[in-house]
Amino acid sequence: MVLLSLFLGSFGPIGWLVLLALLILGIMIIIVIAKVFLFIIPAAIVAFVVWLVTGRNEVLAGIAFIAIAILSFLKR
């Protein structure tokens, strides 16, 4: 808490603006990462299942991944 008060106290209003900007940037980065994971996870699960079922065929797993990713993108 002392470090925060020293930082904000030494820079005044600019320190508060920097803190607010960094907080907003951090929240935006977390939201983007969460959306990417929610976009990739279903396609990865389907690709993994196809990979297991087809006897470890990477081509079919890749096709399944791309197909589910495109469908997920078009759904939004």
Confirm if 34 and 4 have CB atoms less than 8 A apart. no
Phi and psi torsions of 12, nearest 5°: 65, -135
Q: Which pLDDT value is given to residue 67?
A: 97
Which of 39-63 are b and which e, b meaning 16 or more Cβ less than 10 Å from the residue's Cβ? Answer: eeeebbebbeebbeeeeeeeeebee
- Helix locations, 1-76, DSSP H: 2-11, 13-53, 58-75
Confirm if 51 and 61 have CB atoms less than 8 A apart. yes
Q: Which pLDDT value is given to residue 76?
A: 77
Q: Which pLDDT value is given to residue 16?
A: 79
Query: What is the pTM assigned to this prediction?
Result: 0.69
The pLDDT tens digits along the chain (76 residues) read 555 565 555 667 777 788 889 999 999 999 999 999 999 999 999 999 999 999 999 999 999 999 999 999 998 7
